[in-house]
Chains A and B, each alone.
Chain A
Amino acid sequence: MIAQAIGGRLDYAVMLTYFIAVLGFGLYFGRYTAGTKDFFFGGQRFAWWLIAFSCIATVVGSYSFIKYSEVGFKHGISSTQTYFNDWFWMPLLVLAWIPIIYYKRIVSIPEYLQARFDQKTRIMATFIILLYLIGYIGINLIALGRTMKTLLGWEVMTGATITAVAVALYVYAGGQTAVIMTDLAQGIILLLAGLGLFAGAIYHFGGFGEFWALLPQEHKYAFSDFADPPKFSFIGIYVQDGLANTGALMLMHQAFIMRFLSLKSVKDSRRMVVAWILVLTPLAAIATSCGGWIARALVNTGELDTTAEDSFVKAANFLCAPGVFGFILAALTAALMSTADSLVNAVSAVFVNDIWRPYIRRNAPDKHYLRVARIASLAAAGLGLALVPVFMLKDTLYEAHGMFTAAITPPVLTAVFLGILWKRYTPMAGFLTIAGGSLVIGLSFVWPDRLIGPFDFGMGPGSYSFMRALFGLLAAGAIGAAVTQFTKPRPDTEIKGLVAGTQTDAMREFKGGEPNRRPGRKVRLAAHIDSTLSGTNTIVVPPSALDRMAAEPGDLLYASDVRWWYGGLRSVHVKAAAGPAPAPGKAVLNLMHISPEDAATAHFTDGQEVVVEKTM
């Protein structure tokens, strides 16, 4: 890495200003957190575009700019191939998984595993997922600490501590709402910084054609060679990232589960995934990798001398004016904070929902769980920070966490995948898929040649860290399928709403009645706070408004501020009731009667114009 700090005082001032702004921004949203539903799921009220930005900010970690630029410098545009695997999971995500967790009010993966299988599977998954998440917080913090050391000359622990404290503070105050709102800012910053750098480079070279011409021929392919080199082969990256990691991200990553549950409706998940995967992800792929491509082109013109590892920072420093480079540094910080905050909030959710609430203190008031959740957030950040010196002392522990992740991701993913799709899949099979799969993958570290060798496509030991994912998926799947043949499945009535084919049952359960999926329109009404509706969670609207929404009394509605850019921050879920029809010859008053508590939840004032739509 670069031996000395780079950047000037103006750069550091820009970065510091950004850091303080994000902290203040996050703390501000504490006012929108009144209970655990707000703390973990932001009140389930956010618009699709806000969640799409939040997802992309979480996907892009602090290491992304450095890592993908390094790969881009060595291999060219195939550095982006890990970003283009996500779409294939979308049908399963929007047509099965999100409806199941949203309508069944599943708040964590362990909870799903208990509902679908049994308690012992939940307990095992709880500890595995907590270890996985806390280790990841540590890895993100050490990645940022090392980057800060390169950029600013700070000790690794100093950068990690400052970031951990900032993240812990705003997650403590604002929970998921703070995470989502800061992620919006951080997602924009990191995309602007990366794409701005790319645009600046194109201008520097005199056009895209000139830039393209400076790249070696073998750097211009979308994919690397099928089975070469072992550490960057297509097949290795595909099975490790495209199948295991992306599948885990979609189906078993607690932070993403919480994002999906923060949407105002399941219908919004469809728009969200299109914006996230088809629009923002390709932009993020360019933003994170372009540093390496630019550095390679600059090396070819003789304007820059760099190693692959330093390519992002050196290319940015070469192209950016003082102050602008500080903006790039801020993007790196943004990438770290937007990933770490999600993980901290996710650990808190698993701890409260899967340990504290079921085993330590049941049926306590929600305020109690909110307090525990906040303390758990601080503890999660603290534990992640405590791992930083441990990881620094022994790289083997750092690697051990990587191995642990590789060992547990495929079995848990397989259990969830088969649990969703296969009704016959039994509780014992689910348990042994995770336990047995993890054990067999663990053995692959002892006998790699015997176990992974047959799946390495002739690439040898250099590919094992990638091909272990394929072995793990196949081994866990085989265990699950075999055990299912000899054990008894749960009756269909017990898994209704938890498996594919029963999503509409889950919808009925969620609504408490038959879902209304007739297409309707949004309506604008004036809020009228009506204390007679107190405690009913119902709004009374004119019959004409119900007609326009294609809604009926008892349907679920969503009322929000007319200012779209709030993204649902000022909104509330309610049930519909029809007001009296106007007397003949009298004008229809476009009023929405709402209870004082629902108005307070949505931050509506009397007479304020709001938008109302049917969600189900």
Chain B
Amino acid sequence: MNMLRVWPIVWQFGIGGLLCLVGIWAGLRGGYLNLHIREDRRLLVILIGGYLLLLVLMAVFTFWAPYWSHGESL
């Protein structure tokens, strides 16, 4: 595995994950993000889901898509 291609994912989603945690902590602190409220729980799921969606997208275009066969219909 070419680690020069892996490090960008580790950095982007590592630091990005920390930023997300800081933001969620900022919401939970003081009770503004109230997990007893359904729409707040849904927001948390969306924030985590967005993170995972981007992670999957970047992984696809790092480990799989570059090796799709030439000229083959997708």
Write the residues of chain A forming the contact surface with B, with a CB cutoff of 8 angstroms: 77, 81, 84-85, 87-96, 99, 207-210, 212-213, 217, 220-228, 234-235, 238, 242-243, 267, 270, 274, 277-278, 420-421, 500-505, 507, 517, 519
| Docked complex: B1-31 residues within 8 A CB-CB of A | 3-5, 7-9, 11-12, 15-17, 19-27, 29-31
- Whole-angstrom distance between the Cβ of A310 and the nearest chain B Cβ: 26
A95 and B50 in contact, given A225-B4, A226-B7 (Cβ under 8 angstroms)? no
Q: How far is the CA of A537 from the CA of B60 in the complex (A)?
A: 54
Chain A residues in 8 Å Cβ range of B68: 209, 212, 220
- The answer to whether A501 touches B66, judged by C-beta atoms less than 8 angstroms apart, is no
- The answer to whether A270 touches B43, judged by C-beta atoms less than 8 angstroms apart, is yes
Closest 7 CB pairs between A and B? A91-B23, A95-B27, A88-B16, A92-B23, A500-B26, A501-B30, A222-B61
A92 and B22 in contact, given A210-B71, A503-B30 (Cβ under 8 angstroms)? yes
Q: How far is the CA of A343 from the CA of B50 in the complex (A)?
A: 29
Chain B residues in 8 Å Cβ range of A92: 19, 22-23, 26
Chain A residues in 8 Å Cβ range of B16: 85, 87-88, 242
Closest A-chain residue to B7, C-beta based?
Answer: A226
- The answer to whether B33 touches A95, judged by C-beta atoms less than 8 angstroms apart, is yes
- The answer to whether B58 touches A519, judged by C-beta atoms less than 8 angstroms apart, is no
Offer 13 A-B interface pairs, CB within 8 angstroms, sorted by A. Answer: A88-B15, A88-B51, A89-B23, A91-B27, A209-B72, A212-B68, A213-B69, A217-B66, A222-B62, A223-B12, A226-B8, A421-B26, A517-B34
Chain B residues in 8 Å Cβ range of A210: 71
B31's partner among A87, A94, A278, A504 (CB-CB below 8 A) is A504
- Further pairs besides A210-B71, A217-B66: 4, Cβ < 8 Å: A88-B17, A91-B20, A92-B23, A238-B12
A220's partner among B11, B21, B65, B69 (CB-CB below 8 A) is B65
- The answer to whether B32 touches A503, judged by C-beta atoms less than 8 angstroms apart, is yes
- Whole-angstrom distance between the Cβ of B8 and the nearest chain A Cβ: 4
Chain B residues in 8 Å Cβ range of A87: 16, 50-51, 54
| Docked complex: B31-74 residues within 8 A CB-CB of A | 31-34, 37-39, 43, 46-47, 50-51, 53-54, 57-58, 61-62, 65-66, 68-74
